[in-house]
Structure 1
Amino acid sequence: MCGRLNVTDSAGVRALCEQLDIQLWPEDGMRFSRFIRATDRVSIVFRADGDKQKMINAIWWLLLEKAAPDGQFKPSRYTSFNTRYDKLNKRGSAGYQSYRSQRCVIPASGFGETISIDGKKYYHDMMVEDDDALVMGGLYRTWQYTTASGQTQTEFSCSVVTLPPHDKLQHIHKKASPLMLSLKDGSVQDWLDPTRFPESLDYLLTPKIRQSMSALPVDKPSTYQPIGESTLISADG
């Protein structure tokens, strides 16, 4: 999966957030943008304080490092906006501990993919209908630093979990597909449940499209000019 998300202020995204029963919201509000790229902030939802679900705006880059001289954190030089499924159970990997205790979901309207053919890049935007929304499974981490005034602050970071490529998306991206979840089949609830052991989540690490999407070819993500007709990617049965 490539490093760009579409999170529009749509009826579908709003309805999804209501269904997620978020009790604590970020002070600066949910992050909306047609083009959220890796290292930007994106809104994540996780379970905290027992059964309370909380939304926070996190840096979309799981590994951070201190940014001198103020002590705050910035994205690490190590690429970590995605976490591969085959690294989740590898001790010492960036996502190993988070997979066990810091799982999150990312509400979105869609995501972008890129494929190279004969040295040329082709871009697609994957989108659901305005009255629908996607839920991507992710991981998060927390980082603490002390301000000049002596206050302790917490920074959040996150990544999207990626799976093997899905057959229906081979013409759009051949390397990986995002972990897509749904409230309807209980996969969101399972992923957010802190009592679920990793072994019981193995069934989610097989690529599955849980809702229909359209794939729109565009000239490039920044200008977003369609260069062909959109095609329907149907949900798996």
Structure 2
Amino acid sequence: MCGRFNISDSPAVQQLLLRLGIDSHNWPVRFNDFHRACNTISIVRHDGQNTVLEDATWWLLLEFKDDRFKPSRYTSFNTRYDKLDVPRSAGYRPFRQSRCVIPASGFGETEYETVNGKKKPMRYTNFNAKEAIAFGGLYRQWQHPLSGEIVNSCSIITLPPHPKLNPYHSKASPLMLPQEGPWLEQWLDPEIREVEQFAPLLQPAIRQDLEAQIINKPSERLAIGRSTTILAD
């Protein structure tokens, strides 16, 4: 998954937040039609007592510099599924101790091609869901050494490419959590550290119908041609 997604103040998003135990009228949500990596976004996590919605930097690894936390030089807005069980990887401990849900309305992907040994963008596609998306994410907390302030960082887990998305993006697909059954509650439960039960979630799956729209570039998002409906699995 590339480093952009959108979240709108829609009935579908409101319904997802209520499903997670969040009343968005009491908890401010960072709605945005173009969140990019390193932005401050909204995550839903469990603090040990309640489900809460909080701000987080969309970049899992932070470093303390100039009296504040900033994104590390190591790219970490995504966490690859095949790194989750590597003990020294950035996502190993959060996968077992600090999972979160990142609500969204859609996401964007960029397909690259190699020309004269250099990787260049070939196609930009936006995928908008008719229902809200619950991305499976990880978070970490960082404490300011002087003020004691706690800040959150996060990443979205990426899976192998999905066959239905392969014509648009052949590298990876995001983890979209099922919203039926107990999966969301289990994903947020910090007491669940035996993560083998989440193995079925680490297979690429499309949980909601998506509208795929090729665009000119992410900063403008002007449609090129007609959109295509991609049905849920």
Common fold: TM-score over 0.5: yes
User: 1:19 — aligned with what?
Assistant: 19
The offset of 1:20, in angstroms, is 0.8
User: 2:137 — aligned with what?
Assistant: 138
Q: For 1:219, which of 198, 207, 216 is the aligned residue?
A: 216
Taking the aligned partners of 2:171 and 2:182, their CA distance within structure 1 comes to 27
Taking the aligned partners of 2:26 and 2:39, their CA distance within structure 1 comes to 16
Between 1:192-201 and 1:18-27, the stretch displaced more is 18-27
User: 1:64 — aligned with what?
Assistant: 62
The answer to whether structure 1 residue 210 and structure 2 residue 207 are counterparts is: yes
* CA separation of 1:185 and 1:168: change in aligned 2, threshold 3 A: farther
The AA in structure 1 aligned to 2:133 is L
* CA separation of 1:186 and 1:211: change in aligned 2, threshold 3 A: farther
Asked if structure 1 preserves the Cα contact closer than 8 Å seen for 2:113 and 2:122, the reply is yes
Taking the aligned partners of 1:141 and 1:210, their CA distance within structure 2 comes to 26
The offset of 1:146, in angstroms, is 3.7
CA-to-aligned-CA distance 1:213-234 (integer Å, 9 cap, x gap): 1101100111010001111111
Q: For 1:233, which of 214, 230, 233 is the aligned residue?
A: 230
The AA in structure 1 aligned to 2:64 is K
User: 2:127 — aligned with what?
Assistant: 126
TM-score under structure 1 length normalisation: 0.91
User: 2:40 — aligned with what?
Assistant: 41
User: 2:118 — aligned with what?
Assistant: none
Between 1:78-87 and 1:110-119, the stretch displaced more is 110-119
The offset of 1:14, in angstroms, is 1.3
* CA separation of 1:54 and 1:198: change in aligned 2, threshold 3 A: same
| Unaligned stretches of 5+ residues in structure 2 | 116-120
User: 1:74 — aligned with what?
Assistant: 70
The offset of 1:24, in angstroms, is 9.6
Asked if structure 2 preserves the Cα contact closer than 8 Å seen for 1:7 and 1:33, the reply is yes
The offset of 1:189, in angstroms, is 2.2
The offset of 1:22, in angstroms, is 2.4
Taking the aligned partners of 1:14 and 1:232, their CA distance within structure 2 comes to 23
The AA in structure 1 aligned to 2:52 is K
Asked if structure 2 preserves the Cα contact closer than 8 Å seen for 1:23 and 1:54, the reply is no
The offset of 1:19, in angstroms, is 1.3
User: 1:195 — aligned with what?
Assistant: 191
Question: Share of identical aligned residues, percent?
Answer: 48
The offset of 1:185, in angstroms, is 3.7
Taking the aligned partners of 1:118 and 1:99, their CA distance within structure 2 comes to 33
Taking the aligned partners of 2:126 and 2:179, their CA distance within structure 1 comes to 23
The offset of 1:172, in angstroms, is 1.1
Name the count of aligned residue pairs. 227
CA-to-aligned-CA distance 1:130-183 (integer Å, 9 cap, x gap): xx2000000000000144xxx310110000000111111101111110000122
The AA in structure 1 aligned to 2:167 is H
Taking the aligned partners of 1:192 and 1:53, their CA distance within structure 2 comes to 8
